Chains A and B, each alone.
Chain A
Amino acid sequence: MAASVVSRPQQKTTAPAGLLVAPAIIALVLWMVVPLAMAIWFACQRYNLLSPDNREFVGVQNFVYVLTDSSLWISIGITLMLVMSVLVITIGLGTLLAVLFNQEFAGRGVARVLAISPFFVMPTVSALIWKNMLMHPVNGLFAQVTRGLGLGAIDWFADLPLLAIIIIVSWQWLPFALLILLTSIQSLDTDQMEAARMDGANALALFRFVVLPHLSRAIAVVAMIETIFFLAIFAEIFVTTAGGPGLATTNLAYYIYLKALLEFDVGGASAGGLIAVVLANIIAIFLMRSVARNLDT
């Protein structure tokens, strides 16, 4: 690092420069390495909080146990499902709304603020609102409306638990996608739109050939940021379904929580955590690649 400062008198500057940079590097290394090392350490221990004395080094046994646990694979499947569907919903609707909010209409400013406001509500609070005020089978607004129409009521968290979670998370994150996509759409050159209109593009063709390509970068960025957050969705599940019924809404984050704090299996939880890190990394590399490709064209 310090070597890149100057070329010739390197010998002289390296030592002090290295010294000066050292605190930052050390802090960074500690910040990253210590938790990782501890996770690896615990993952190789048999360590259950119910019998803390019965602690010993077991090698990869925890990994074998976790990886052969069918609920891990279920939770990974659910995680992917959750991430993908919320991505599709927020980006799809976000793009549509961004196009809509870019049009001139009366009260546009107010409408924009309202549309963005769900993002400022804490996940726990919004989950509670959805659980008790909207999706509740007896008191919820949805149930009252459908019952009023003579259609009966859906018990969302019992019958369609994953869908309920997807709806809640989408509601929270739609404003984020909308915000980014709207700013991007506003930077679209109006001359380009007009040129396309003169070339004979109708509204649909304008969207497909001019607006969408222009938005592609912003969409990639939104997808990347959202994925990072969606891999770790927890509060919404904790507040509403507690991972249930059965494992119907147990994602990876919730699986680790179950292992660590309900089964008191620190070793197993750490192994699960490391698997989550690997998974997140695979997805991150994949995303980074596609985003980076998008950014330089």
Chain B
Amino acid sequence: MATVTLRNIHKSYGDNEVIKGVDLDIDDREFVVFVGPSGCGKSTLLRMIAGLEDITAGELLVDGERMNEVPPDKRGLAMVFQTYALYPHMSVAENMAFSLRLAGMSKAKRWERAKEVARTLQLEPLLDRKPKALSGGQRQRVAIGRALVRNPRVFLFDEPLSNLDAALRVQMRLELSSLHDSLQSTMIYVTHDQVEAMTLADKIVVLQGGVVEQVGSPLELYHHPNNLFVAGFIGSPKMNFLPVMTTGVQDSGTNVRLPGDAVVTVPVQPKMLMVGDRATLGIRPEHLRIDANNPTVMGEVLVVERLGGETYLYVKIAGGDTFIVQADGDSRAKVRDHVPIYIDGHLCHLFNADGLAVPQAERHHLTLSTPEVSQTQASHQTYAQHPQSSQTD
């Protein structure tokens, strides 16, 4: 059992306020990921939870107990650092058993415990090595082992994989994920890697400038971003945005006019936008299609990025805006081609003049109940996701 609760947490360095009131509830066994642009205060927030940084104002509770004044080692948390922070003069075993040694455990006992943890992390053959004789991935594992040994209530990770190469990062990501499954403990994880956040998290917390922009399951953030910032931050390549004008509001959706005079109907809740309101239309590159039968807008290809499996087209559409379109890996599009682009209103997002999302009429079927929607539940939900003509003249 370990829940973490943040109540109106603030942090200031002198006059510089870097965390501006964060409220957050983290449930037992939840894997929570903090994401946000560099300097938004992710590490600071994590370090405040760890106890390495004083909390300027607000309250931190672990299992309902106030932790503000409790020293780091008494909070029952363990942290894995980006730089690993292993003790260079101690062997792997000594590194892992250091906290037990400080706690006064007998040598035989702590050796036993270090061995046990080493076994789960495949570190057994390395127990006698010094950290400098290990590869990056092995060091990372030792750092995780050092956290595991303490049997903490909550694990804290600060960008633990960012010093590893791409292949190793994928492998460690899978290992972390299975570790979470087997340990069933609460984990808080800081990253700026989209994929890590989307794949590992039960709950993502998007931060910007010391403020929480949105909290939700990965798919909630993907399908129902609260505002322009979250919409642009989650997803890669980033969501396309277009300034539009509201031209009609019906119960079934809101009509908006694109700069090139095309009109798209977006099924958002009515009465949130009035005819004549300015708004922003957002659509993800993977939701745009090259479709000669049903073109919403025409565009000129500026750049073609071929990744093999898919192709990204940077397309300039009427009105001067640039779209990124994710096309097939074997798309034949070339630079300076004119391509027809089909915009499906059901896959679009609308944001009002303040940058806040206009709620969609229907929730995405994967985001309906709790984050852990079971397979059977999900299959009963039938929402039209296939392209429909939403084009009006």
Q: Which A residues fall within an 8 A CB radius of B?
A: 189, 191-192, 194-201, 205, 209-210, 213-214, 216, 297
In the complex the two chains form, what is the Cα distance from A198 to B80 in whole Å? 10
Q: Are B102 and A192 within 8 A (Cβ)?
A: no
**Distance in angstroms between the alpha carbons of A96 and B358 in the assembled complex:** 62
- The answer to the question of B386 belonging to the interface, with a C-beta cut-off of 8 Å to chain A, is no
Beta-carbon contacts of B145-165 to A below 8 Å, as 1s and 0s?
Answer: 010001000000000000000
A197 to chain B: closest residue by CB: B72
Q: Which residues of the other chain, A, contact B50 by a CB distance below 8 angstroms?
A: 198
CB <8 Å contact, A199 and B73: yes
**A199 contacts which of B52, B84, B99, B130 (Cβ < 8 Å)?**
B99
| Contact across chains for A192 and B99 when beta carbons are under 8 A apart | no
Which residues of B are at the interface with A, using a C-beta cutoff of 8 A?
50-52, 71-73, 77-79, 81-89, 98-99, 102-103, 130, 146, 150
| Candidates A191, A200, A213, A297; contact of B102 at CB < 8 Å | A200
Q: Are B73 and A195 in contact (CB under 8 A)?
A: no
**How far in angstroms is the closest Cβ of chain B from A265?**
52
Residues of A within 8 A of B72 (CB): 194, 197-198
Pick the residue among B52, B88, B130, B146 that contacts A197 (CB under 8 A).
B52
Provide the residues of chain A in CB contact with B89, threshold 8 Å: 213-214, 216, 297
B73 touches A189 (CB 8 A): no
Min CB distance, A215 to chain B, in Å?
A: 11
Instruction: Take A200-B103, A201-B102 as given contacts and tell me if A194 and B52 are in contact as well, using a CB distance cutoff of 8 Å.
Output: yes
Contacts of A210 in B (CB 8 A): 87
Closest 6 CB pairs of A and B: A200-B73, A191-B85, A199-B99, A195-B85, A213-B89, A200-B102
Once the chains are docked, how many angstroms separate the CA of A98 from the CA of B88? 21
Contact of A209 among B84, B85, B87, B150 (CB under 8 A): B87
Shortest Cβ distance from residue B62 to the other chain A in the assembled complex, whole angstroms: 14
* CB closest residue in chain B, given A190: B85
Bound complex: CA of A182 vs CA of B84, how far in Å? 24
Which of the residues A192, A194, A197, A297 comes within 8 Å of B87, measured between beta carbons? A192
A189-B83 in contact given A199-B98, A209-B98 (Cβ < 8 Å): yes
Q: Are A195 and B81 in contact (CB under 8 A)?
A: yes
> Which of these, B52, B83, B86, B88, contacts A198 with CB under 8 Å?
B52
Q: Which of the residues B78, B88, B98, B103 comes within 8 Å of A196, measured between beta carbons?
A: B98
Taking the closest CB of chain A, its distance from the CB of B87, in whole angstroms, is 7
If A201-B102, A205-B102, A209-B98 touch, whether A196 touches B87 (CB-CB below 8 Å) is yes
Please report the C-alpha to C-alpha distance between residue A198 and residue B149 in the assembled complex, in whole angstroms: 13
Task: Name B143's closest neighbour in chain A (CB-CB).
Answer: A195
- Separation of A26 and B226 alpha carbons in the complex (Å): 81
Of the A-B pairs whose beta carbons lie under 8 Å apart in the complex, a sample of 27, sorted by A's number, is A191-B81, A192-B86, A194-B52, A194-B81, A194-B85, A195-B79, A195-B81, A196-B87, A196-B98, A197-B71, A197-B72, A197-B73, A198-B52, A198-B73, A198-B77, A198-B99, A199-B150, A201-B73, A201-B102, A209-B87, A209-B98, A213-B87, A213-B89, A214-B88, A216-B89, A297-B89, A297-B130
Q: What residues of chain A lie closer than 8 Å to B52, measured between beta carbons? A: 194, 197-198
Q: How far is the CA of A191 from the CA of B139 in the complex (A)?
A: 14
Report B-chain residues with C-beta under 8 Å of the C-beta of A214. 88-89
Secondary structure dominating the interface of B:
loop
Cβ A198 vs Cβ B78 within 8 A: yes
Summarize A's interface: helix, strand, loop or mixed.
helix
- Nearest A residue to B152 via CB reads A198
Compute how far the CA of A201 lies from the CA of B100 in the bound complex, rounded to whole angstroms: 11
Q: Are A198 and B79 in contact (CB under 8 A)?
A: yes
Q: Which residues of B contact A297 (CB under 8 A)?
A: 89, 130
Q: State the CA gap A216–B71 with chains docked (Å).
A: 29
Q: Is the CB of B146 within 8 A of A199?
A: yes
Contact A192 B73, beta carbon cutoff 8 Å:
no
Q: Give the docked Cα–Cα distance between A194 and B150 (Å).
A: 16
Q: In the bound complex, what is the Cα–Cα distance between A192 and B99 (angstroms)?
A: 13
A201 nearest CB neighbor, chain B only? B102
- Expressed in whole angstroms, the Cα–Cα distance for A297 and B72 within the complex equals 31
Expressed in whole angstroms, the Cα–Cα distance for A195 and B88 within the complex equals 12
Contacts of A205 in B (CB 8 A): 102
Cα distance A297–B91 when bound, in Å?
Answer: 12
A192, closest chain B residue (CB): B85
Chain A residues whose C-beta falls within 8 Å of the C-beta of B87 in the assembled complex? 192, 195-196, 209-210, 213
Residue of A nearest to B75 (CB): A198
Given contacts A194-B79, A197-B72, 7 further A-B contacts (CB under 8 A): A194-B81, A195-B85, A196-B98, A198-B52, A198-B79, A200-B73, A213-B87
B102: chain A residues within 8 A (beta carbon): 199-201, 205
Q: Report the Cα distance A287→B78, complex, angstroms.
A: 41
Chain B's nearest CB lies how many Å from the CB of A199? Answer: 4
Q: With A and B bound together, what is the CA distance between A201 and B292 in angstroms?
A: 68
Complex Cα gap A29–B370 (Å): 84
Of B73, B83, B146, the contact of A191 (CB 8 Å cutoff): B83
Chain A residues, Cβ within 8 Å of B98: 196, 199, 209
Q: Which residue of A lies closest to B79 (CB)?
A: A198
Return the chain B residue nearest A199 by Cβ: B99
- Chain A residue at minimum C-beta to C-beta distance from B103: A200
Provide the residues of chain A in CB contact with B99, threshold 8 Å: 198-200
Distance in angstroms between the alpha carbons of A297 and B52 in the assembled complex? 30
- What B residues does A189 contact at CB under 8 A? 83, 85
Residues of A within 8 A of B82 (CB): 191
With CB as the reference atom, state the residue of chain A lying closest to B80. A195
CB-nearest residue of chain A to B47: A194
Q: How far is the CB of A213 from chain B (nearest CB, A)?
A: 4
**Residues in B neighbouring A216, C-beta threshold 8 A:** 89
Give Cα A232–Cα B266 distance, bound, in whole angstroms.
Answer: 90
Cα of A198 to Cα of B130 in the assembled complex, Å: 21
Distance of A153 Cα from B87 Cα, bound (Å): 50
In the complex, what distance in Å separates the CA atom of A194 from the CA atom of B78? 11
Q: Which residue of A lies closest to B89 (CB)?
A: A213
A214 to B87 Cα, complex, angstroms: 9
Q: How far is the CB of B385 from chain A (nearest CB, A)?
A: 46
Q: Which residue of B lies closest to A216 (CB)?
A: B89
